[in-house]
Amino acid sequence: MDAALKNLTRLAGQGVSVRDDSRTVGPGDIFVAVGEAGARHIPQAVEAGAAYVVHDAGDATFFGGQIQAVKTQDARAALGELAKARFGANRRGLKLIGLTGTNGKTTTAYLLERLFFALGRRAGVIGTVGYRWPGHDERAPLTTPGCLRLHELLAQMAEAGTEVAIMEVSSHALAQKRVAGLAFDAVALTNVTQDHLDYHGDMEAYFAAKASLFTGYPGPDKPAAINCDDPYGRRLLADLPGAMAYGLSDPPAGCVKMLRGRIVKSSIKGLALETSFGRERWTVVSPLIGAHNAANLLTAQAVGLLMGLAPSDLTELSGAAGAPGRLERIKNHRGLDVFVDYAHTPDALQSVLAALKPLTQGRLIVVFGCGGDRDRTKRPLMGAAVAAVADLAVLTSDNPRFEEPEAIIEDVIEGLGACKNLIVETDRKAAIAMALEAARPGDAVLVAGKGHEDYQEIQGVRSPFDDGAVIREILAC
């Protein structure tokens, strides 16, 4: 860090406000302009009274005014250092856990939150569903908030007496360095499967974003747990030989630390997971369903061990429910097995279907769709995943956003050629009603794609829509 930037971090530590949005700048503030887009807003920040400007594009001579301009190679990284100095979350004794991966982050975060509270430790969560800690709960606009907001939230957690912060770290956040300035005490990789390629471009760039959580923040020597059942997890383990591997399969060659799980009982009501680490053996009995939830339970246990918990502590996960909208059972008086799940990627949908199919005595009925203005290449893949196992598929709208629902449905239908029985109904409530009307005791109904979301977005307008609430209304339960 050069002397000029070091001076600004000192000022931030003394209480000078740091801003990355020119609309929020006040007199005397430090404004961080990221890239050419940020540089275009420097005049507005100066006009609003910014005393200092940090930037990584353009020429300082055009700024004008009585300001100090500091040019840096990476404004995002500089923003992290300034946020760290301004809010000081890492200085307050707050332990920080980072969870990344395509699927399983939210459920694992809920499990860890439950585990730490059961052991008498105050925990907080920053993730897809919300930002919460004892005495505070707000809806999450982003899985991982922007850099300044993230540091501010962690500081508020620490101020409220939270001991452990559990964070879902998205690939977007890593690519955009929203977690810059943070030092993680433990990190975990759940899996890497196709998602967000509309942003990252290809799987290698997507994986590289995920892997950066392990090689940085602050470095590669922090405690890490990696799913060795996942091919990308095995790649990462090869680069981080000191990491803990975990999984339901055999450990990779050369693995020195392995948390091994074995499903000893599995039904539509839940599972029993026998776990071993070294010479220790214990069992967790869970209401969660399927191998993918066994993997989530293993992730939580691996992180617990990294954070210094004893194997005996991990049995507190017995009975722990998962996250809202993650294979969430909707109880009803008709005795139907009805579930709501957030699965919105091919792999997530395959995992949920693979969990339900062998446990279903009757037919598996699946209601699903695909979101608009997102990766189109995954749409036929999701259709194929449903066609492979569903006895009845009901294709409908998810969040079409600014796309026409019929156009999205046409993309999905390309993968549904092998489907045994298909109903197409654009209206999501009507589609759910059709599936429930068709269901009989012994059948399982999965409504996939939206999970915990309580809205449907059409042409930029969000209207109230909660799959679970709609099911309860239709079934009068």
84, 74, 68: which is closest to 31 by C-alpha? 68
Q: How far apart are CA 261 and CA 246, in angstroms?
A: 8
Q: How far is CA 240 from CA 208, 225, 433, in A?
A: 14, 10, 49
Q: Residue 60's pLDDT is what? A: 52
SS3 call for 376: coil
- 418-454 confidence digits (pLDDT tens): 898 999 999 999 999 999 999 999 999 999 999 999 9
pLDDT tops 70 at residue 472: yes
Give me the pLDDT at residue 62, please: 52
Q: Residue 437: is it exposed, middle or buried by C-beta count within 10 angstroms (0-12/13-18/19+)?
A: exposed
Q: What percent of the chain has pLDDT over 90?
A: 85
The pLDDT of residue 90 is: 75
Distance CA 113, CA 229 (A): 24
Residue 475 three-state SS: helix
- 121 vs 124: CA distance, rounded Å: 10
Question: Which among 302, 295, 345, 350 has a CA at the least distance from the CA of 322?
Answer: 295
341, pLDDT greater than 90: yes
Structure tokens at 359: 């446990």
3-class SS at 366? strand
Cα–Cα distance measured from residue 312 to residue 234, given in angstroms and rounded to the nearest whole number: 28
Q: What is the DSSP string of 418-446?
A: T-SSEEE-SSHHHHHHHHHHH--TT-EEE
Determine which of 25-29, 31-35, 88-92, 163-167 has the lowest per-residue pLDDT on average. 88-92
Using the predicted structure, report yes or no on whether residue 408 has a pLDDT greater than 70. Answer: yes
Q: How confident is the model at residue 321 (pLDDT cuts 50, 70, 90)?
A: confident
Structure confidence by residue, pLDDT tens digits, 23-68: 999 999 999 999 888 999 999 999 999 999 999 986 654 555 678 8
Q: Which residue has the higher pLDDT, 58 or 466?
A: 466
Q: What CA–CA distance (Å, rounded) separates 29 from 8?
A: 10
Band the pLDDT of 328: cuts 50, 70, 90. Answer: very high
What domains can be seen in the chain, in order of their start residue? Answer: 3-86 (3.40.1390.10), 88-317 (3.40.1190.10), 328-475 (3.90.190.20)
Angle (CA) 27 30 36, round 5°: 115
Are the beta carbons of 214 and 220 closer than 8 angstroms? yes
pLDDT band of residue 219 (cuts 50, 70, 90) is confident
Residue 290 to residue 356: CA distance in whole angstroms: 7
pTM: 0.86
The pLDDT of residue 473 is 97
193 vs 405, more confident: 405
Ranges assigned E (strand) in 205-247? 224-227, 244-247
| Cβ proximity of 280 and 293 under 8 Å | no
Buried b (16+ CB within 10 A) or exposed e, 201-215: eeeeebbebbbbbbe
CA–CA separation, 18 vs 396, rounded Å? Answer: 45
Q: Report pLDDT digits (tens) over 126-150.
A: 999 999 999 999 999 988 999 999 9
- Among candidate residues 190, 185, 239, the one with its CA nearest the CA of residue 215: 239
- Predicted confidence at residue 2, as pLDDT, reads 86
pLDDT at 252: 87
Q: Which residue has the tokens 């943070």?
A: 182
Burial of 321: CB neighbours in 10 Å, binned 0-12, 13-18, 19+: middle
Torsion on CA atoms 76, 78, 82, 85, rounded to nearest 10: 120
Average pLDDT of the chain to the nearest whole number:
94
d(CA 366, CA 341): 11
The token pair at 170 is: 């998205």
